[in-house]
Structure 1
Amino acid sequence: MLKTIWTYAEHLPPVPDASRLYLGEGGTPLVKSRYIGKAIGLDHLYFKLENLNPTGSYKDRFASVLVSQMRAAGQTVCLATSSGNTGAALSAYCAAAGIQCVLVVVDGAPLPKIRQMQLYGAEILMVSDFGKSAQVTGHVFAKLTELCQMHQLPLPISAFHYCPSAMQGVQTMVYEIMEQLPQAPNHIFSPAGGGGLTLAMGRGVVSAKAATKVHCVQPEGNDTIASALRWGQEKAIPVDYSTTRISGLQVANVIDGNEVVNTCRQLGGRGYVVTDTEVFNWHQELARREGIFGEPAGAVALTGVVQALRLGELSPSDVVVCPITGSGFKDMNAVERNFGLPDVSAISIAEGLGRIEQFIS
């Protein structure tokens, strides 16, 4: 049976069948680690391959629900914000629905994500310091909210604070995980910028009535939630300026952070703060040891797992799940910048055969 997010329609906002837009989102594989798990001391480490969604990220789950709702309401214009993946997802689903899409993107959004949005036909506006500066980000959100209210439009931001019903689409990831394993996992580690994905994981676990701990992992240059969760603070704390180089996690404002702290704490989850360097190292290991080419943000959860093991907060027999949030092709700039890969240029047949002899001998 084909699994889609609409398989879990009872957990989603009501949308008429005729308005539901399906491009192949959901039903992504859950694969067991072949190398990294054993190397770090875990017998049951799994990766949820959200990079295999139609536009290359888990945000397709959000976009499918939101654009389906827009179709049902007869809306013809979508004005949204994005750090990259949400914009790519919304622009694709809007293209399929015949809806005009205008996107305000964060300062420094990777070019491959921008090009993807443009190819789908979206209009793109990049605002200086948006996403990096809490003050600028708050101002942009406020102005766009005012504009959308004036024109009776939704403001599609992939966060429960702004779009709680559409974010239920992201929760379907948890329902799939529960069905793909013999029993509920002991732990789900989730990367966080504004916290929407982590909150979706937590609420999905609560809805599934599972005994699974959901942990929040953040890069140290955008630590709005993780330290607050770990050290017993009641609320997330915005940063003045996000300095992480992990695309998609540059969210200086709290957004869903307070709810993440509450929900993860209720589920027994912890916060983990990791460095960009650690993330890039595990990003490369995922590709070279597991054959998984995710975006750098997709390696953040795994980096948190490694830290948890180092702190003695996981057992070797624990079942642990990490989402690979998006495709590595989304941020090729990071690959070029961080790994120093050699250039490939044309050579003669004789030279090529000589090198092949060296490789195989």
Structure 2
Amino acid sequence: MSSHPNSFWRWSKRLPQVAPEHRLDLGAGCTPLVRSRRIGPAEGLSNLFFKIETANPTASYKDRFATVAMSHMLAEGQSRCVTTSSGNAGAAIAAHCAAAGITCEVALIVTAPSGKVSQMLVYGAELYRVADFGRDPDITRETFEQLKRRGEAPDAAMQITAYCYSPVGMEGVKTISYELAEQMQTPAEHVFTPVCGGGLALAVARGFADLVEDGALTPGPKIECVQPEGNNTVAGPLREGMDQATAIDRCTSEISGLQCPSLLDGDALVAATQRTGGTGHLVSDEAVYAMQSRLAREEGIFSEPAGAVAAAGAVAARRSGLIRADARVVCLVTGSGFKDPPSVDRMLSGADVPTVTLDALTTEGPPS
């Protein structure tokens, strides 16, 4: 364990108790918070910030979960981890399992991008895909139950980034809120977060609730839940004032990492979001891809599509007049563009890198 004051474990008093000798630390947390230089001003948001979770060791916020979950498994003497993933959770868990000497088995959502699959394989994880997992709610639910049974062996544990399955590991995700409270000179008023099964946004809401309860922050920000239109389980119900999430028959969004027709933490997230005064926001897949490109070309932030969803939601909210022009807004950028090569190919469609001779470069200059 690192003793550095910026170590993830500086929050140990707020995290599940793990003896120091069992604490893994690959460098999760302490991610940058940067002010928007171009998108914010262009969209009339003078105080727009991005929390760059791509700076975590496996390039997504899921390292916060894996740090606590795998440390807890070490403390419990468990040697086999069973999980499911569209990529980011699997990569984070596989890396921390490698460091801990724990066997890692990952059931992949069928649409998991090649970059994320390769990352998991590099860390030595055992992978397999489950047909229609992540699209069909019945298959998704039964897959979770099968994995849960596999994780009930004495030497094993199932680790899934949802409170309903792995509440210990999810406590690590709350550190996003603790860091934001430290990093913002004036507290954030809105925190926009992408929503899949709801665990991330719920952890962020609960993290801020901890700070408010302790008197360290008054008040907490509004949690703003953003989903692709094709996976509307939480955002729509929130906008309609419903008190529960709504399962859908089938996810139609192509945004990897946000394809979950099941509720998981949805009901708890609806309640937590409403307590903050926040709401839900729906964005099209095309708006997400457009924001992925804008983040790269206007802010220098290389995000996968799912990591651009929060920013797409914030821009849509400002255009609709739902947030003030001077509101202090934070968008979570949750995963790196390197993880989703097909989305990068889409962004670069038609781009070409010509080869020129030195003579041509000297006489004519670079090609336009």
Normalised by the length of structure 1, the TM-score is: 0.96
**Aligned counterpart for 1:201 among listed residues 197, 200, 204:** 204
Residue 256 of structure 1 is aligned with which of 254, 265, 278?
265
Q: Secondary structure at the match of 1:46?
A: strand
Q: CA deviation at 1:182?
A: 1.2
* Correspondence for 1:158: 161
| Corresponding position of 2:239 | 230
The yes-or-no answer on 1:330 pairing with 2:333 is no
Residues 6-27 of structure 1 deviation map (CA, whole Å, 9 limit, x = unaligned): 1111111000000000001100
Structure-1 residue corresponding to 2:124: 121
Alpha-carbon distance in structure 2 between the residues aligned to 1:337 and 1:174? 33
Q: Deviations over 1:279-315 (max 9, x none)?
A: 1111101100100001111110011111111221111
Structure 1 residue 220 displacement after superposition: 0.4
List runs of 5+ in structure 2 lacking aligned partners: 213-218
Q: 2-side partners of 1:164 and 1:355: how far apart?
A: 62
Contact persistence 2:70–2:97 (CA under 8 A)? yes
Cα distance change on mapping 1:352 and 1:147 into 2, 3 Å: same
SS across alignment from 1:252 = coil
Does residue 340 of structure 1 match 2:349?
yes
1:75 to 75, 78, 84: 78
Query: How far has the Cα of 1:337 moved from its partner?
Result: 2.5
Paired with 2:257 and 2:57, the residues of 1 have a C-alpha distance of 18
- In 2, distance between residues paired with 1:356 and 1:138? 59
**In 2, distance between residues paired with 1:265 and 1:354?**
64
CA distance in 1, matches of 2:27, 2:205: 24
One-letter code aligned to 2:351: P
The separation in 1 between residues aligned to 2:265 and 2:169, in whole angstroms, is 14
Matched, 1:292 2:295: no
Which stretch of the first structure deviates more once superposed, 104-113 or 145-154? 145-154
1:4 maps onto 2:4 in alignment: no
Deviation per CA, 1:9-68, whole angstroms, max 9, x where unpaired? 111100000000000110011010111111101111100010010000000000000000
CA shift, 1:149, in A, is 2.0
Structure 2 Cα separation of the partners of residues 20 and 260 of structure 1: 29
2:231–2:258 CA contact under 8 A, matched in 1: yes
The equivalent position to 2:222 in structure 1, one of 205, 213, 227, is 213
Superposed CA deviations along residues 309-352 of structure 1, whole A, max 9, x for unmatched, are 12211111111001110111010111113441423353322344
* Rounded Cα–Cα distance in structure 1 between residues aligned with 2:353 and 2:116: 24
The one-letter code of the counterpart of 1:350 is: D
Once the two structures are TM-superposed, the CA of residue 152 in structure 1 deviates from its matched residue by: 5.7
Identity of aligned residues (%): 44
CA distance in 2, matches of 1:11, 1:213: 22
1:2 Cα deviation from its structure 2 partner: 3.7
Are positions 1:50 and 2:53 aligned together? yes
Q: How far apart, CA to CA, are the structure 1 residues paired with 2:189 and 2:78?
A: 42
Task: Indicate yes or no: 2:289 matched with 1:280.
Answer: yes
Distance in 2 between the 1:137 and 1:151 partners?
25
In the superposition, relative to structure 1, how do residues 5 and 219 fare at CA in structure 2: closer, same or farther (>3 Å)?
Answer: same
Secondary structure in 2 matching 1:103: strand
- Unmatched runs of 5 consecutive residues or more in structure 1: none
How do residues 5-154 of structure 1 correspond to structure 2 at under 5 angstroms? 5-151=8-154, 153-154=156-157
Q: CA deviation at 1:227?
A: 0.4
Paired residues, number: 359
**What is aligned with 2:216?**
none
Q: Give the Cα separation in 1 of the matches to 2:141 and 2:366.
A: 59
Are the structure 2 counterparts of residues 6 and 341 from structure 1 closer, same or farther at C-alpha, using a change threshold of 3 Å? farther
SS class of match (1:118) = helix
State the shift of 1:154 in Å.
2.1
- Give the aligned residue type for 2:341: M
1:317 to 326, 329, 353: 326
Match of 1:270 among 279, 285, 289: 279
Q: Which amino acid aligns with 1:254?
A: L
2 CA distance for matches of 1:29 and 1:92? 22
Distance (whole Å) between structure 2 residues aligned to residue 267 and residue 12 of structure 1: 22
